[in-house]
Amino acid sequence: MGESREKLVLIGNGMAGMNTIEHIIKLAPHKYDITVFGSEPHPNYNRILLSYVLAGDSKVEDIVIHPMEWYEANGIHLYSNETVTSVDTAGQNVTTDSGLTVAYDKLIVATGSNPFMLPLPGADKEGVMAYRTIRDCEIMIEASQQYKKAVVIGGGLLGLEAARGFLNLGMQVDVVHIVDTIMERQLDRTASKMLQEALEAQGMNFLLEKQTESIIGDERVQGLKFKDGTVAEADLIVMAVGIRPNVALARESGLEVANGIVVDDYLQTSVPNVYAVGECAQHRGAVYGLVAPLYEQGAVLAKRLAGAETVPYEGSVVYTKLKVSGVDVFSGGQFMDAEDTKAIRVHDEFSGIYKKVVVKDNKIVGAVLFGDTADGTRLMQMIRNGDDISGLEKTAILRDNSGSGNGGGSGVAEMADDAIICGCNGVSKGTICSAIKDQGLTSVEEVKNCTTASRSCGGCKPLVSELLSYTLGDAYEKTSGKETICGCTDHSREEILAAMKEKGLSHVKEVMSVLAWKNEGGCSKCRPALNYYLAMLNPTTYADDPTSRFVNERMHANIQKDGTYSVIPRIYGGVTSPAELKRIAEVAEKFEVPTVKFTGGQRIDLLGVKKEHLTQMWEDLDMPSGYAYGKALRTVKTCVGDTYCRFGTADAMGMGIQLEKRFERLNTPAKVKMAVSGCPRNCAESGIKDLGVVAIDGGWELYAGGNGGVKVRAGDLMMVVKTESEVIEYTEAYLQYYRETGIYGERTSEWVKRLGIDTIKEVISDPEQRAGLCARMNETLSVTKDPWKEAVNNATIRKDLYEVVEIKS
Amino acid sequence: MNNTTLHSAGTEGQLAWYAAVAYEDLAFNTGKTIRCDATEVALFKLSSGTIRAIQNRCPHKDGVLAEGIVAGEHVFCPMHDRKIDLMSGLVQAPDTGCVTTYPVRIEDGQIYIGLPAAKEMAS
């Protein structure tokens, strides 16, 4: 059977080529024997998401589109780390740098583009680089560990994303740009200036209207000199001034090349049986450097090669979104004002929102959005469809009308089946609609999980929602726009809590069956949430469901990446004793604990413990669990306070120990960390804790919603109280209010932001409400038990959770 | 060994059947780690009472599947939340991959797991 297949060779293991191959396999699975050559040592990955890798939000593995196994499973011969050096179009074969020659019946050239490197004097110095590949990303991350100052040349999309990455890596960064507005090819002046301000607030420094003359330094770069005579220091320079189609191989092989490889409306080059797709191709004079066009090209080429009927490719209307967290920018189509265009503008300087829609002959031809980009995908559809807007009220064009129930409002109905909805992951309307129909999907979340649409930047969520509405009709309207707790249900958190109360539900299973859960047994998102909510509502009567707890909370230890556990006993307020330390040391020796480490919360972590040793270890330790694994009170960090410190004004250690003893074992929507400082010097870092206590002369300040983690947030001053018992009382009220109104998984930093510190102040300052909250907290705390002791004393728990059965072969 | 007494059963075709634990001794929806030389199996008793056995490591990053949350016919890897079908061993979309599944049978209240017999024949 293999012999009868035609031989298809792809040069370039990038997004354009592999997207085409993926389509071909779907359309004609047995037609071709496929060989792929890629110069990079990786399988196919999503280059657009590199900025997330650099920003630390994703790992390299996360952006791989097709893992090596996928190639194998589909019978594709992949030669990674291997570069095609010549094409013999007469003999129909290609030859690589390792001397391998492979014959083809059909050849796809998808060599993409190369970053353009400015030919500046000194550009060959060490530390001057491009930003294009996983390897570049890795070099930048490595450099950040050694060097402090980066300069990015180029204030376009790529340059700004690279600069943001450097900020995340803890480096200082200057962005050098030749004109006085950044991203000038995508933004008008107003949006550009707003963007600049937003990025400056994030710590980016701009050197505008600067032209680099030379790069200075010895072997390694030390800085750069501009034409105006000024200089900037730099340990690392990234050139992000543009890309050039990679056409060298095509040119040498005799294909017609202008800026890119010239192709017709079916992506065929000037030579028979040779096609080009993606950034290296030039179609009707245009070369595209964005993802959506290459998917559109790939869909046409795949059909052609699969022998399916296809409409010709007639060019793309492009749009861009800047992938920098905290800044929403969208630009599409012909967005600059011209003599024959008019514009609708909304500019809200208070909220930092700017929207401009450019209209020509009653049709929308372009748009720029800043601050709120929700309209972006809808406007793009109106541009692509050439909708006549003369009948529409002008201001209504910018208002999102997806809530009006008019599914056809954005034109999803008229879109072709292969129109790309999700640009990041290349998911088409047809794929989404058939997944909705065939797999019975009813929410954006489910579509995301099944098709990956909206999984990356999330910009296409409104369109996915409209496709659901269009495909399901009224059945979708009922559930749309509601924040459900996971894909297993159409109910929101509030509805579920109300049903638990009204119907007196008392088991996780009961909730799922009464509220008609769509997936039998729920999932890893909803089950722990339901278990928490039920316990929060019925603290004394609810029987915890360990099978609905995440491993760490079920096992009462932190699972590590190798499957061993870490054990952290409670050390109240970070204050211990020689006897306790000796016991910990003896246990560590007895169980041959490979790593003993102090945690950031002033206690001791015993790492690398086997699961079958856990309970014996706890018995020997004879200390309470530190709950270092739970959505619960973790630690109360303290400074020494007035017991020893010459600046101390109060007993910080004593206060911390009291707080930790009061709230240990308390389950909360997310982990809770506290700290007590004995004076405003704040040595216990009370400003970045879920509850921070700071002693002042004659009283205590309570700070709420601080966070030192992913999103650093300084706590808000919530209350100033006089006595230690008031500290406990107000903390009880605060934590109970958080327990009752927090969404499962929501840290206090997000919760305080959502509710507003003033609302929280009002509630806990009200004597009646405070008394109620404290009473419910007291009830909750009255029934907690130490889980380590429980396991040590209960043979069933030991057997069910900690036993490992050995079979002898 | 030290934890639970076990004995190997006879071989059958390519499989060797081993007694693991008593059916009654297995808690619902709570994975049990079964070790046989270098092979680790995660054994589950589902809400329906069905027994399933799969390789105890997630194909993504070696997460320990016996510690995952069990929901219906699926287990969620505790490490990065991959959803795995316990019947087929397939990682559910949008992720990909699969884990080895092992046949089980219950005789006189005892759960037996069928492991590839190649190793035994070689020794």
Each residue of A757-768: pLDDT tens digit? 999 999 999 999
Q: Does any CB of chain B come closer than 8 Å to the CB of residue A454?
A: no
Show the tokens assigned to B102: 């092992």
Q: Any idea what DSSP says for residue A488?
A: T
Work out the mean pLDDT of chain A and round it to a whole number. Answer: 90
Annotated binding site of A: 639, 645, 679, 683
- Percentage of chain A modeled with pLDDT above 90: 65
For residue A67, what is the nearest residue in chain B, using CA coordinates? B96
Inter-CA distances, A238 with A82, A150, A173, Å? 26, 8, 10
What integer pLDDT is reported at residue A388 of this predicted model? 84
Nearest to A99 by CA among A83, A111, A117, A115: A83
Is residue A287 within 8 A of residue A297, CB to CB? The reply is: no
Show the tokens assigned to A766: 């009200």
Mean pLDDT of A300-304: 95
φ/ψ of residue A229, rounded to 5: 95, -15
Q: Any idea what DSSP says for residue A286?
A: B
Task: Transcribe A287-352 into DSSP letters.
Answer: ---SHHHHHHHHHHHHHHHHT---PPP-----EEE--BTTB-EEEEES-S--TT-EEEEEEETTTT
Is residue A34 within 8 A of residue A134, CB to CB? The reply is: no
For residue B112, what is the nearest residue in chain A, using CA coordinates? A807
Mean pLDDT of A286-294: 86
What integer pLDDT is reported at residue A1 of this predicted model? 45
Does the structure show a pLDDT above 60 at A47? yes
What integer pLDDT is reported at residue A350 of this predicted model? 82
Does the structure show a pLDDT above 50 at B120? no
Chain A residues in contact with B34 by the CB 8 A cut-off are 804-805, 807
Does the structure show a pLDDT above 60 at B5? no
Chain B residues in contact with A547 by the CB 8 A cut-off are 28-30, 69-70
What integer pLDDT is reported at residue A411 of this predicted model? 62
Higher pLDDT, A602 or B15: A602
Q: Do the Cβ atoms of A455 and B61 come within 8 Å?
A: no
Does the structure show a pLDDT above 50 at A333? yes
Tokens 């308390």 correspond to what residue?
A: A666
The radius of gyration of chain B's CA atoms, rounded to the nearest angstrom, is 14
For residue A453, what is the nearest residue in chain B, using CA coordinates? B94
Higher pLDDT, A707 or A290: A707
Residues 6 or more apart in contact with residue A581 via CB below 8 angstroms: none
Is residue A800 within 8 A of residue B43, CB to CB? The reply is: no
Inter-CA distances, A325 with A60, A198, A368, B43, B78, Å? 19, 11, 18, 43, 28
Higher pLDDT, A393 or A607: A607
pLDDT tens digits for A178-200? 999 999 988 999 999 999 999 99
What count of Cα atoms within 13 Å lies in the side-chain half-sphere of residue A154?
A: 22
Q: Do the Cβ atoms of B33 and A520 come within 8 Å?
A: no
Mean pLDDT of A108-123: 93
Strand-pairing partners, residue A804, are B33
Does the structure show a pLDDT above 60 at B1? no
d(CA A326, CA B20): 53
Annotated binding site of A for siroheme: 683
d(CA A426, CA A21): 13
Does the structure show a pLDDT above 50 at A644? yes
Position A754 confidence tier, pLDDT thresholds 50, 70, 90: confident
Does the structure show a pLDDT above 70 at A235? yes
What integer pLDDT is reported at residue A93 of this predicted model? 96
Nearest to A679 by CA among A701, A662, A696, A666: A696
Q: Does any CB of chain B come closer than 8 Å to the CB of residue A519?
A: yes
Position A405 confidence tier, pLDDT thresholds 50, 70, 90: very low
Question: What's at A57, amino acid-wise?
Answer: D
Residues 6 or more apart in contact with residue B79 via CB below 8 angstroms: A559, A561, B58, B60, B61, B62, B63, B64
Q: Any idea what DSSP says for residue A242?
A: -
d(CA A50, CA A134): 7
Inter-CA distances, B22 with B31, B38, B108, B110, Å? 14, 22, 9, 4
Is residue A371 within 8 A of residue A353, CB to CB? The reply is: yes
What integer pLDDT is reported at residue A406 of this predicted model? 39
Strand-pairing partners, residue B34, are A805, B41
Domains with residue ranges and CATH for chain A:
6-112+246-306 (3.50.50.60), 115-244 (3.50.50.60), 423-481 (1.10.10.1100), 493-549 (no CATH), 631-785 (3.30.413.10)
- Count CB neighbours of A268 within 10 A: 16
For residue B64, what is the nearest residue in chain A, using CA coordinates? A563
Position A463 confidence tier, pLDDT thresholds 50, 70, 90: confident
Does the structure show a pLDDT above 80 at A462? no
Q: Does any CB of chain B come closer than 8 Å to the CB of residue A801?
A: yes
What integer pLDDT is reported at residue A458 of this predicted model? 66
What integer pLDDT is reported at residue A457 of this predicted model? 65
Inter-CA distances, A405 with A387, A400, A480, A525, Å? 19, 11, 10, 29
Annotated binding site of A for [4Fe-4S] cluster: 639, 645, 679, 683
Nearest to B31 by CA among B99, B96, B118, B123: B99
User: How far is residue A185 CA from its own chain's centroid?
Assistant: 27
Q: Among the ranges A239-243, A422-426, A658-662, which has the highest mean pLDDT value? A: A658-662
What integer pLDDT is reported at residue A675 of this predicted model? 97
Does the structure show a pLDDT above 80 at A510? yes
What integer pLDDT is reported at residue A479 of this predicted model? 54
Strand-pairing partners, residue A343, are A358
Chain B residues in contact with A612 by the CB 8 A cut-off are 3
d(CA B69, CA A486): 15
Size of interface A-B (CB pairs under 8 A): 124
Among the ranges given (A47-51, A76-80, A537-541, A591-595), the one the predictor scored with the smallest mean pLDDT: A47-51
Mean pLDDT of A168-185: 92
Show the tokens assigned to A230: 């000024």
Q: Do the Cβ atoms of A805 and B96 come within 8 Å?
A: no
Mean pLDDT of A625-646: 95
Q: What sign does the dihedral A536-A542-A548-A550 (CA atoms) show? A: positive
d(CA A200, CA A167): 11
pLDDT tens digits for A350-365? 888 899 999 999 899 9
Among the ranges given (A249-263, A342-356, A437-451, A523-537), the one the predictor scored with the smallest mean pLDDT: A437-451
Shortest distance between the Cα of B22 and any Cα of chain A, in A, equals 11
What integer pLDDT is reported at residue A417 of this predicted model? 81
Q: Do the Cβ atoms of B67 and A455 come within 8 Å?
A: no
d(CA A731, CA A719): 10
For residue A435, what is the nearest residue in chain B, using CA coordinates? B93
d(CA A744, CA A735): 14
pLDDT tens digits for A464-505? 888 888 888 776 764 555 677 888 888 889 899 999 999 999
3-state percent helix, strand, coil for chain B, nearest multiple of 5: 10, 45, 45
pLDDT tens digits for A660-718? 999 999 999 999 999 999 999 999 999 999 999 999 988 999 999 999 987 789 999 99
Q: Which of residues 36-95 of B touch A (CB under 8 A)?
A: 36-37, 47, 61-64, 67-74, 76, 78-79, 81, 83, 93-94
What integer pLDDT is reported at residue A2 of this predicted model? 45
Is residue B51 within 8 A of residue B43, CB to CB? The reply is: yes
d(CA A144, CA A152): 14
d(CA A178, CA A279): 25
